[in-house]
């Protein structure tokens, strides 16, 4: 299991004074253990070796994979295995408030989390001395960007035919008003006492990334991880169905 890392999503506006959970349901009508509907399509970037577009309602992400290709970067450390290189950027309009295009501190944190989640699942020895670039663009970011980026990147790698031990699916849980909620929205993340993001290989159930913000008791951490695992299992069915429909078979079942 990967060591826990801290992650602090930027505050993106004034939090609502209306309770986020009323009569057992969240503001968007979901139950605490319910994900937003997932939409996933492949081949959205024709120039890439593989690509994926993912939506969790108002969180929208595009991932493009290029390679394997020769590493021409000067001064790069020699390695007999291949290399995986991830890069996350936000559009200027991704989170409502205008921001500079490119890598700000939040994008760098997400890049680090996605890289760690995928690194162990990709068979780097299958493309020695070559590099695979994973370019992720957050078109709209309204909560759960880290988990969504992990899932989208994994699907894009499979679409590109990159050899993988398994798919990696991401899910997140927030502590909101004394309850654990799966796949939090940006409003829920803003008011959360803590956020936990988990990346997991979908067949082997191996945790490849654990990202934690806030104070968590041991019991709450265990419960949140179990909820994330349930969410990953739900999402895995959708991702695999889309991959099968597109003939992508690089991830080992």
171-212 residue pLDDT tens? 999 999 889 999 999 999 999 999 999 999 988 999 999 999
Going by pLDDT thresholds of 50, 70 and 90, the confidence category of residue 250 is very low
Per-residue pLDDT, 186: 92
* % of the chain surpassing 90 pLDDT: 70
* Higher pLDDT pick, 80 / 11: 80
Over the chain, what is the mean pLDDT? Answer: 87
H helices then E strands: how many in the chain? Answer: 4, 12
Work out the average pLDDT over 120-125: 94
Lowest mean pLDDT among 12-21, 90-99, 119-128, 193-202: 12-21
pTM of the model: 0.87
Cross-strand bridge partners of residue 8: none
**Residue 225 contacts residue 180 (beta carbons within 8 Å):** no
* Backbone phi and psi for residue 192, each to the nearest 5 degrees, phi listed first: -70, 145
Lowest mean pLDDT among 15-19, 66-70, 195-199: 15-19
Buried b vs exposed e over 92-113: b needs ≥16 C-beta within 10 Å?
A: eebbeeebeeeeeebbebbbbb
Cross-strand bridge partners of residue 180: 175
Going by pLDDT thresholds of 50, 70 and 90, the confidence category of residue 74 is low
**What is the three-class DSSP state of 67?**
strand
CA proximity to 52, closest of 167, 131, 130, 165: 167
Long-range Cβ contacts of 52-57 (<8 Å, 24+ apart): 52/152, 52/153, 52/155, 52/156, 52/159, 53/152, 54/148, 54/151, 54/152, 54/155, 56/143, 56/144, 56/148, 56/183, 57/28, 57/142, 57/185
Going by pLDDT thresholds of 50, 70 and 90, the confidence category of residue 80 is confident
* % of the chain surpassing 70 pLDDT: 84
**Residue 102 contacts residue 42 (beta carbons within 8 Å):** no
| pLDDT over 70 (residue 2) | no
**Residue 101 contacts residue 147 (beta carbons within 8 Å):** no
Cross-strand bridge partners of residue 61: 54, 138
- For β-strands 83-90 and 130-140, DSSP reports them as parallel
| pLDDT over 80 (residue 8) | no
CA distance 240 to 85: 24
CA distance 84 to 124: 8
Work out the average pLDDT over 145-160: 97
Per-residue pLDDT, 78: 56
Residue found by looking up tokens 């990953």 in the block: 232
């Amino acid at each position: 299991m990967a060591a826990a890392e801290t992650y602090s999503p930027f505050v993106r506006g004034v939090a609502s004074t209306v309770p986020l959970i009323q009569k057992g349901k969240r503001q968007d009508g979901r139950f605490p253990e319910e994900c937003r509907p997932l939409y996933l399509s492949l081949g959205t970037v024709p120039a890439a070796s593989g690509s994926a577009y993912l939506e969790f309602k108002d969180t929208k992400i595009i991932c493009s994979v290029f390679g394997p290709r020769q590493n021409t970067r000067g001064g790069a450390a020699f390695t007999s295995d291949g290399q995986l290189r991830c890069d996350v950027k936000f559009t200027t309009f991704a989170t409502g408030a205008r921001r500079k295009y490119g890598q700000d501190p939040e994008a760098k944190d997400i890049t680090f989390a996605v890289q760690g989640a995928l690194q162990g699942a990709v068979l780097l020895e299958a493309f020695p001395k070559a590099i695979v670039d994973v370019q992720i663009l957050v078109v709209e970011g309204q909560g759960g960007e880290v988990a969504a980026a992990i899932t989208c990147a994994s699907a894009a790698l499979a679409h590109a035919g990159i050899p993988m031990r398994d798919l990696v699916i991401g899910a997140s849980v927030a502590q909101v008003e004394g309850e654990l909620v799966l796949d939090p929205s940006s409003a829920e993340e803003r008011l959360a006492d803590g956020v936990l993001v988990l990346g997991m290989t979908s067949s082997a159930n191996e945790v490849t990334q654990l990202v934690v913000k806030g104070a968590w008791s041991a019991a709450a951490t265990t419960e949140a991880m179990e909820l994330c695992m349930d969410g990953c299992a739900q999402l895995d069915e959708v991702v695999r169905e889309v991959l099968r429909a597109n003939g992508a078979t690089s991830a080992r079942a």
